[in-house]
């Protein structure tokens, strides 16, 4: 059986998914999309870099955009519970012969840079500079009125290996997709959390490691529908990839969009609480069409095949060959 018991005493304490850094070709063009269309707030702007946060966030940034010749995902960031957790994390990654360094990172305190078992680049930190929370400054709301970063979803060439790795770090399984072979079922996707909702981190079977999307929280379905109106009337209609609709997995109301470089963002709301330590994960069959779309159009082929590569990290073919349901 591929499912493991939760690890309630992990080697260090990860609080939540915190931020992503993306490389983009044209910072001015990308700024217009994230700020003018989606409604992100600018925390800082430097030559070649833009730091963004959403209206609820007090941390300085949850999205970093950095200009580069080619688009890529640069790193995925997680907040830990203490400075001591950073030292414990560094020791844990070193014992596994994974890279560790403590570079200077703008607007963050001491930051550990490392990689997971597939080579996916990670950042862990405890302290970040703070910015004004704009949650009740309603006059500043624009676009989707994004509240905060919610989760990160990645393609992995080996779902079981990624699941085992992060389960050891205390990430707890809420839902999973599995093949229907009763003798030897295989994981096709997993949803893992630290903060008490459906997921901080998810892995889908595919060519990887690659970033599939960042999920950002909207206050409600009407905010997502409002973004559809904004995008349709401001030149970004082609950037809408999938939705709106509702997932079976997570129960979330969703919309998937692509930024000017193809990085995928999910507008996400209406999932559920997962804090109980005895919570049993929900199993979905790979052949169940409602697991990905409870209602709405099926996911297009691009949703299963396209993602953001990590700079200088080789992409491998998936270990599991399985055919998902795609739009005709």
Convert the pLDDT of each residue in 218-239 to its tens digit.
999 999 999 999 999 999 999 9
- Provide the pairing of β-strand 72-80 with 121-125: parallel
Q: Which superfamily does CATH assign the domain made up of 14-128 to? A: 2,3-Dihydroxybiphenyl 1,2-Dioxygenase, domain 1 (3.10.180.10)
CA distance 153 to 78: 13
User: Is 69 exposed, middle or buried, given 0-12, 13-18 or 19+ CB atoms closer than 10 A?
Assistant: exposed
Domain parsing of the chain, residue ranges: 14-128, 143-309
Please list, residue by residue across 222-255, b when 16 or more beta carbons sit within 10 angstroms of its beta carbon and e when fewer do. ebbbbbbebbeeeebeebbbbbbbbbbbbebbbb
Which of these ranges, 155-159, 309-313, 319-323, 324-328, has the smallest mean pLDDT?
Answer: 324-328
Residue pLDDT, tens place only, 27-59: 999 999 999 999 999 999 999 999 999 999 999
Residue 34: CA count within 13 A, CB half-sphere: 29
Residue 94: per-residue pLDDT = 98
CA distance 283 to 187: 10
Residue 180: per-residue pLDDT = 87
Residue pLDDT, tens place only, 171-188: 999 999 999 887 889 999
**CATH architecture of the domain formed by 143-309:** Roll (3.10)
Closest CA to 252 of 242, 261, 260, 237: 242
CA distance 289 to 302: 17
Closest CA to 141 of 64, 214, 219, 239: 219
Residue 324: per-residue pLDDT = 66
Domains 14-128 and 143-309 share a fold: yes
Is 328's pLDDT higher than 60? no
CA distance 42 to 239: 22
Instruction: Kindly indicate the confidence band of residue 66, based on its pLDDT and cuts at 50, 70 and 90.
Output: very high
Average pLDDT over residues 17-32: 98
Is 325's pLDDT higher than 70? no
Residue pLDDT, tens place only, 261-291: 999 999 999 999 999 999 999 999 988 888 8
Residue 245: per-residue pLDDT = 96
Residue 287: per-residue pLDDT = 87
Is 116's pLDDT higher than 90? yes
């Amino acid at each position: 059986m591929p499912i493991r018991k939760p690890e309630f005493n992990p080697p260090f304490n990860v609080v939540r998914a915190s931020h992503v850094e993306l490389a983009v070709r044209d910072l001015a063009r990308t700024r217009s999309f994230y700020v003018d269309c989606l409604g992100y707030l600018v925390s800082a702007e430097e030559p070649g870099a833009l730091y963004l946060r959403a209206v609820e966030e007090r941390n300085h940034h949850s999205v970093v955009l950095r200009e580069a010749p080619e688009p890529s995902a640069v790193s995925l960031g997680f907040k830990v519970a203490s400075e001591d957790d950073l030292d414990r994390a560094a020791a844990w990654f070193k014992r596994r012969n994974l890279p560790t360094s403590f570079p200077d990172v703008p607007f963050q305190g001491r930051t550990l840079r490392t990689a997971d078992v597939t080579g996916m680049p990670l950042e862990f930190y405890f302290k970040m500079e703070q910015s004004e929370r704009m949650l009740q400054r309603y006059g500043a709301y624009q676009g989707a009125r994004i509240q905060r970063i919610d989760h990160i979803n990645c393609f992995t060439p080996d779902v079981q290996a990624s699941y085992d790795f992060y389960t050891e770090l205390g990430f707890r399984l809420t839902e999973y997709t599995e093949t229907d072979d009763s003798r030897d079922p295989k994981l096709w996707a997993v949803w893992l959390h630290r903060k008490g909702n459906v997921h901080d981190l998810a892995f889908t079977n595919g060519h990887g490691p690659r970033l599939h999307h960042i999920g950002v929280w909207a206050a409600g379905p009407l905010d997502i529908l409002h973004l559809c109106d904004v995008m349709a009337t401001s030149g970004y209609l082609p950037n809408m990839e999938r939705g709106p609709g509702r997932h079976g997995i997570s129960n979330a109301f969703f919309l998937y969009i692509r930024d000017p470089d193809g990085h995928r963002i999910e507008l996400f709301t209406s999932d559920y609480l997962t804090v109980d330590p005895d919570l049993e994960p929900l199993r979905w069959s790979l052949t169940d069409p409602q697991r990905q779309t409870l209602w709405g159009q099926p996911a297009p082929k691009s949703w299963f095949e396209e993602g953001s590569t990590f700079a200088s990290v080789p992409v491998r073919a998936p270990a599991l060959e399985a055919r998902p349901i795609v739009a005709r």
